[in-house]
Amino acid sequence: MSAVPPRPPAPARSRPSAQSRPPAQSRPPAQSRPPAQSRPPAQSRPPAQSRPPALVRSSAQSQPAVQPRPPAQSRCALLVAGLTAAALVAASACGTTTGPTRSATHADEQAHAASTSPAAHPLPSPAAAPGTGHHPGTGVGAASAPAALTSDGLTQADGVRLVAATTTLTPDQPTAFAFQIQGSDGGAITSFTPDQDELMHLYLIRSDLTGFQHVHPTMAPGGTWTAHLAATPSGFYRAYVSFRTRIAGRDTPLVLSQLIAVPGPAVPVPLPAPSGLGAVDGYTLTLGAPQGMPVAGMTRPITVMVTRDGRPVTDLQPYLSSYAHVSAFHEGDLAFAHLHPEGSTGAGRGGPDLAFAANLPRAGNWRLFIQFQTAGILHTAAVTVPVA
């Protein structure tokens, strides 16, 4: 029996082995799918700045990982808008203040004048008067006081300033005008020395040299003065305060002033021509110049003779330590001067002749207001005097 040849080993199965299958790698890998990054990134959305501002929140989920900066033009626009808004807020927060503490410029006063002057027949504004030579912060009144005074009618001098509660008065109504005299520390001064029987003199004059008032304010314990003014017609005015106080240990006379506006239509009154005669309440005042016509910057005597019905008046009563008080205002810029009486009143009656030392600091027409008293009644006459 022949030997059975050995059976050849079984051949490998014909089914493909696991290795013969296409490897897993041959399948499209997960990476071949569009990656998450291929989606439009969050950065492509409009930046948060484009949303309404009220909706902007600092939430990390709503913002992309890296927030794109807006273009330079957008940044500039946002910056300009922010600055504009800030400027508008600042402007709206700026209100008007009361009085010379703000030290208004010449343009400020002209703007204020334009808002209160009438459209037709406006009175000239002192702020725009020619030839004032004024300080930029006051608007009017340069060399407006005699040489004996250390101030010329500016809002402040020697560290002392006039601070008014208001610079606008109600037309045609009596007004209580309140103010303080403040020192360099900003506090109200309460110590004053009497000058011609009074601690404080306040003068009010309209820009056409009408509406003259001379009153004596009263001071409250805290240093606030109140001047009771008669009804004032519409127009522009200058208020002057004259007083004495101690500065650096010395008793010092000062004159300070403030521009006042009374709103409403106003018609200027022409200045009467220069004349040596004045009249009031049946009295006639005749002016004389023993040493000639007054000259700017020089002291010259001026005499006044008071008569009534052609007869000399000899029953003048003392008023402010003299038989007459004279205030002078310059045409155009309202510069102020005070004419000092010569001699004393004594215990008797005065008149008919009075004398004053006149030192008027500039050439042109001056309006003199002469106040005298008889039988307890105060009279005020006005005379125009030319100065060479």
Q: Quick: pLDDT tens for 187-234.
A: 999 999 999 999 999 999 999 999 999 999 999 999 999 999 999 999
User: Would you say residue 116 has pLDDT above 80?
Assistant: no
pLDDT score of 240: 98
- For the ranges 35-39, 111-115, 270-274, the maximum mean pLDDT occurs at 270-274
pLDDT score of 153: 58
- For the ranges 36-50, 79-93, 132-146, the maximum mean pLDDT occurs at 36-50
- Spatial CB neighbours of 383, under 8 Å, sequence gap ≥ 6: 275, 276, 277, 278, 285, 287, 367, 368, 370
Cα–Cα distance for residue pair 175/217, rounded to 1 Å: 12
Kindly provide the residue ranges of all beta strands, DSSP E only, lying in 263-330, ordered along the sequence. Answer: 277-280, 283-288, 299-308, 311-312, 325-330
pLDDT score of 89: 28
3-class secondary-structure state, position 69: coil
pLDDT score of 274: 95
Look at 38 and 60; give whichever has higher pLDDT.
38
Six-digit token string for 322: 């003299």
3-class secondary-structure state, position 142: coil
pLDDT score of 181: 98
pLDDT tens for each residue of 319-350: 999 999 999 999 999 999 999 788 777 767 89
Mean pLDDT of the chain: 72
- What single-letter DSSP state applies at residue 2? P
pLDDT tens for each residue of 7-29: 555 544 444 444 444 444 545 44
Cα–Cα distance for residue pair 334/328, rounded to 1 Å: 9
Half-sphere CA count of 213, side-chain side, radius 13 A: 21
Q: Is residue 312 exposed (0-12), middle (13-18) or buried (19+ Cβ within 10 Å)?
A: exposed
pLDDT score of 7: 56
pLDDT tens for each residue of 256-280: 999 999 999 999 999 999 999 999 9
pLDDT score of 105: 30
Cα–Cα distance for residue pair 79/50, rounded to 1 Å: 15
Cα–Cα distance for residue pair 155/164, rounded to 1 Å: 10
Q: Are 302 and 358 in contact (CB under 8 A)?
A: yes
Cα–Cα distance for residue pair 46/70, rounded to 1 Å: 10
pTM of the model: 0.64
User: Would you say residue 152 has pLDDT above 90?
Assistant: no
pLDDT score of 124: 43
Look at 277 and 63; give whichever has higher pLDDT.
277
pLDDT score of 163: 97
Residue range 93-122: average pLDDT?
Answer: 30
pLDDT score of 340: 78
Q: Are 286 and 293 in contact (CB under 8 A)?
A: no
* Distance separating the N- and C-terminal Cα atoms of the chain: 174
pLDDT score of 157: 87
User: Would you say residue 103 has pLDDT above 60?
Assistant: no
pLDDT score of 345: 77
pLDDT score of 21: 47
User: Would you say residue 67 has pLDDT above 80?
Assistant: no
Residue range 79-108: average pLDDT?
Answer: 30
Residue 220 φ/ψ, nearest 5 degrees: -80, 160
Cα–Cα distance for residue pair 205/212, rounded to 1 Å: 5
pLDDT score of 187: 97
User: Would you say residue 383 has pLDDT above 70?
Assistant: yes
Six-digit token string for 242: 């004259």
Give the chain's domains with CATH numbers. Answer: 100-262 (2.60.40.1930), 277-387 (2.60.40.1930)
pLDDT score of 154: 74
User: Would you say residue 47 has pLDDT above 50?
Assistant: no
